[in-house]
Structure 1
Amino acid sequence: MSKAKIKGKYFVTLVLSAVLAFSTIFSAYASTWTLTGDTNVHDPSYIAENGTGTRWVFSTGQGIQVLWSADGQAWNRGTQIFSSEPSWWAQEVPNHTKLDVWAPDIYYYNGKYYLYYSISSFGSQTSAIGLVTCTSITKGDWVDQGLVLKSTSSNTYNAIDPNLFADKNGNLYMSFGSWFAGIYVTAIDKNTMKPTGNSYRVATKDGGIEGSSIVYNSSTGYYYLFVSIGACCQGVNSTYQVAVGRSTSVFGPYYDKNGVDMKNGGATVLDSGNSAWKGPGGQDIYGTNVIARHAYSVAENGAPKLLISDLQWDSSGWPYYN
């Protein structure tokens, strides 16, 4: 065998090895994480705690359900946030179901953890968003901060599914809303961590829209509005899908890939589920590179389970994940 053939074979081997290595790294980075343990969840909100590295997920359920993980893969059930109802719950939403709390959202700011959540009765517009805070999730020194925002049948919006986020200058905002008149955004006072000023509608969708999550990506210069469209809570018959639009302004307009304003029903679907997972939604974006959501497991008769994936961005500045 000639030296040329040996070199050629060696070169091809190197190239193939490099390609395989790159593919392995890319697929590991751009894939859904392998999760074990207790992953029963609905409407998850994900965060990594400062100083400890512990990952936490807060979700819909009795008193706000809690999961924790030391490595982001093996998950354990923690202690629910509320063991009894704050007195103001019954005053603001008299027909809500005791400790049933919906769609919490965790946010770290200025040395504290802010956990927003909603109480309502299914299909009702009489709803409220509340706030509880702590200095350490591990210690669990939670303090009830009371009512943040409420709605009644006289409001256009429905005060559920809160999501706190920062704009490119560090100003704080909250998106919220469900069905009815869609998704709204309002400015948040940094001292009270509660709304200041008016709320502005940014998205509507026939057939259902809720679970908003907004993030600013400094690499693309856009704000991205992630939503769940369709209907949840029907196990494998759920029609939830994760969708997105983007804008150069916090208050929109947010356009989908086809240039349709989300206020007029626009929405680019990122995830419509597959043969194993139905009705993905209730998503939460952590930073700009992690997306957590629930989906209904076909193998477990429609049980809602936690899924976490690496969020990627294509050359045109649109998000995707596998």
Structure 2
Amino acid sequence: MRGFVSSALALDVLAGLAYGYANPGSCSGACNVHDPSVVRRSDGTYFRFSTGNKISYASSSSIAGPWTVIGSMLPGGSSINLPGNRDLWAPDAQIVDGKYHVYYTISSYGSQDSAIGLATSDTMDANTWRDHGAVGVRSNPSKNYNAIDANVLVDGASRYLTFGSFWNDIFQVQLNSAATRSTTASSNIAFDPAGTHAVEGPYLFKYGNYYYLFYSAGACCGYDASRPANGEEYKIKVCRSSSPTGNFVDKNGIACTNGGGTVVLESHDSVYGPGGQGVFDDPTLGPVLYYHYVDTTIGFADGQKLFGWNQLDFSTGWPVV
């Protein structure tokens, strides 16, 4: 693990290690979020996007906060002509050729009538976002995937959009050089054949010679006395490949298309159901895993989710919290 941002954080980490996982790093200010996505502007300001309020976003001087809410990214909603275009989900913030991109989902709970859209800004300041509508990735009941939970990897001159939730789980397309439209048919890169195929929220991150496919597995997201930590709740898993487009396997060599997946983070201490994750390469901390979770000491409401983050250690070739 790399250097910590504070002695308080160091104590949190040491306490969590007794249970096998480091506890979440400190968070102050606006810390209640669902499906967070983090990007850093060239002046050092951090921006965090999340589901709700037509993509709510906040800024901070560090990943630990204090986070200050800016407002809605697209206060008028999306131009995509689908039910739910005023209720935007699961943002993914990326930098593409110096411009800030946020990919978002249009859908409704349990529906395959879904699409992935894009908004861009030169600065990420309030009221600077331009909606581009759909990027060409849509689904309906005739498809074997659900077009939600987008993530884009910029890898040299190539751009890969990975997405999916349940049905046949995780798929991928390539985008044009501007990362605004899909250019290939979708391919299935992760699938759990067991049960309800509870896999979603992919995030593809390159580190060293490997591409790491992080995803959320299990039931999202609430905690109460009838839903204790029993192993079926949300957790974060990973597979890796030497290619960004497939043949992902877990630590035991099991294919990610056949139920493979190594657990990176799961319920521990008062942390319940971590998921909705992404990975950010912080200039000071190195690779950071961020996610939402439920703190069982605060409350059991289904909508109560907090922003969590931990440094990642890749020294074994596999990410460790």
1:44 to 29, 36, 39: 36
Q: After superposition, give the CA deviation of every residue in 1:113-170 in whole Å (9 maximum; x if it has no partner).
A: 0100001111111101000000001354100111112110111111000000033x44
- Choose 270-279 or 171-180, whichever is displaced more: 270-279
2:214 to 203, 226, 237: 226
Give runs of ≥4 in structure 1 deviating > 4 Å: 24-31
Structure 1 partner of 2:61: 70
TM-score by length of 2: 0.84
| Larger Rg belongs to | 1
**Is this contact kept in 2: 1:162–1:175, CA < 8 A?**
yes
Q: Distance in 2 between matches of 1:26 and 1:127?
A: 40
1:100 to 84, 87, 103: 87
Query: Is 1:54 the equivalent of 2:45?
Result: yes
**Identity score, percent:** 34
Structure 1 partner of 2:240: 246
Structure 2, unpaired ranges of 5+:
14-21
Give the CA RMSD over aligned residues.
2.2
Query: Is 1:176 the equivalent of 2:176?
Result: no
Q: Distance in 1 between matches of 2:290 and 2:186?
A: 26
Structure 1, unpaired ranges of 5+:
1-20
Structure 1 partner of 2:130: 143
- Where does 1:81-100 land on structure 2 (aligned, <5 Å)? 81-88=73-80, 91=81, 93-94=82-83, 96=84, 99-100=86-87
Q: Distance in 1 between matches of 2:122 and 2:147?
A: 26
Query: Is 1:185 the equivalent of 2:161?
Result: no
TM-score by length of 1: 0.84
The alignment covers a number of residue pairs equal to 289
Aligned residue identity for 1:114: H
Structure 2 partner of 1:201: 188
Aligned residue identity for 1:215: F
Structure 1 partner of 2:71: 79
Q: Which has the higher helix share?
A: 1
Q: Distance in 1 between matches of 2:62 and 2:184?
A: 40
1:121 to 108, 116, 124: 108
Q: Distance in 2 between matches of 1:85 and 1:103?
A: 14
